[in-house]
Amino acid sequence: MILDPNLLTQLAPLDLKARTIVEGFISGLHRSPYHGFSVEFAEHRPYNQGDDFKHIDWKVYGKSERFYVKRYEAETNLRAHVVLDVSSSMYFKHFADWSKLRYSILYAASLIYMMHRQRDACGLVLFDKEISNYFPPKSSYSHVRMLFGQLEQYLDNEKSRSFEQRVSASANALHDLAENLRRRSLVVILTDLFENVESHDKLISSLRHLRHQKHEVLLFNVLEHKSERDLDFPDGKFIFEDMETGSELEVIPAQVKEDYKKKVKEYTHQFRIACSEAGVDFEEIDTQSPFELALLAYLNKRKRLN
């Protein structure tokens, strides 16, 4: 199901947006090769020999002719932290309907909604050059509503363009997070990785730190590919502004496009290898693409943790 960005923008509040994304995604799974992931994953698990018959959900059996037992909160002990980059570069958009921040917030809200459906405990971490807000994982509905409220504030700021210049320092924030997370968790990071290449080793070190602390890590690199990956601008001269520092650079994209794409490809390839060696799942998200692939990446990661 491809969701219309304009429709999602009109929907309010954020929990309704998240529900629309997730329910549309689940509906699409029923009609796709990924039908193994279904709406039942949130509420049930397949029947195993030895399970008590009294826990079988006969309504589900009547629809699917398969045995599922009801899952209870005690059976799900996954603790997850959604870690969101809210630095100034995340406010960027050129070709896409949404900025990287708005796209990431809607995706983060969808993850939180999905985690709640699975009775997982979910927390939220917001960072720029340091952790600005930390909300520890809980599984209650009131907690989820509070997380949506926090994300709504950033949506309002993005819409009104009322934001301060905030530099990103992902490595520092992730090192701090690794030091403060006491229980083994799934850490889902949403960031544009807008940092100097010189910070590459520091960032990998922070991811290794999380892994050393026994956390599972899923890193989503959120970018507007057409502009930031492909430098696919019309002919002419452009002034590019660094949204985090305000510095400007005059560029003729056509003159540097091929060299730029080559270097970005090389850097991304090296970073992907480093993540793989560290045991970190690395996924790219294009803000002009639907949420389905990103949600599938999360489900695949969670399935491996069961």
What is the SS3 string spanning 72-93?
CHHHCCCEEEEEEECCHHHHCC
Max CA separation in the chain (angstroms): 70
What pLDDT sits at residue 38?
39
CA–CA distance, 292 with 2 (Å, rounded to integer): 8
The pTM of this model reads 0.82
User: Beta-strand (E) ranges in 22-165?
Assistant: 44-46, 68-70, 79-85, 121-127, 131-138
- The closest alpha carbon to 204, from 270, 265, 148, belongs to 270
Secondary structure (3-state) at 69: strand
**CA 35/CA 263 separation, integer angstroms:** 39
- In this structure, the number of other CB atoms found within 10 A of the CB of residue 229 comes to 17
> What per-residue confidence (pLDDT) applies to 243?
81
**Domains of the chain and CATH, by start:** 5-73 (no CATH), 76-305 (3.40.50.410)
pLDDT averaged over the chain? 84
Residue 223 has pLDDT above 90, yes or no: yes
Mind listing the pLDDT tens digit for each residue in 79-128? 999 999 999 899 999 999 999 999 999 999 999 999 988 889 999 999 99
Q: Is the pLDDT of residue 167 over 80?
A: no
Buried b / exposed e across 85-101, counting CB within 10 Å, b at 16+? bbbbbbbbbeebebbbb
pLDDT for residue 212 is more than 80: yes
The pLDDT value recorded for residue 300 is 86
How far, in Å, CA of 220 to CA of 122, rounded?
17
Q: How far apart are CA 166 and CA 253, in angstroms?
A: 26
Task: Give the pLDDT of residue 27.
Answer: 76
CA gyration radius, the chain: 20
Q: Each residue of 170-182: pLDDT tens digit?
A: 899 999 999 999 8
Beginning with the edge strand found earlier in the chain, give each strand of the sheet holding 79-85 in spatial order: 131-138, 121-127, 79-85, 186-191, 216-223, 281-286
Q: Which of 148, 157, 218 has the alpha carbon at shortest distance from 190? A: 218
Model pLDDT, residue 74: 41
Give pLDDT, residue 3.
Answer: 57
Which of the residue ranges 133-137, 206-210, 301-305 would you say has the lowest mean pLDDT?
301-305
pLDDT at 34 over 50: no
Q: pLDDT digits over 41-70, tens only?
A: 445 667 666 666 666 777 776 777 777 766
Looking at per-residue pLDDT, the higher value among 123 and 16 belongs to 123
Q: Higher pLDDT residue, 66 or 233?
A: 233
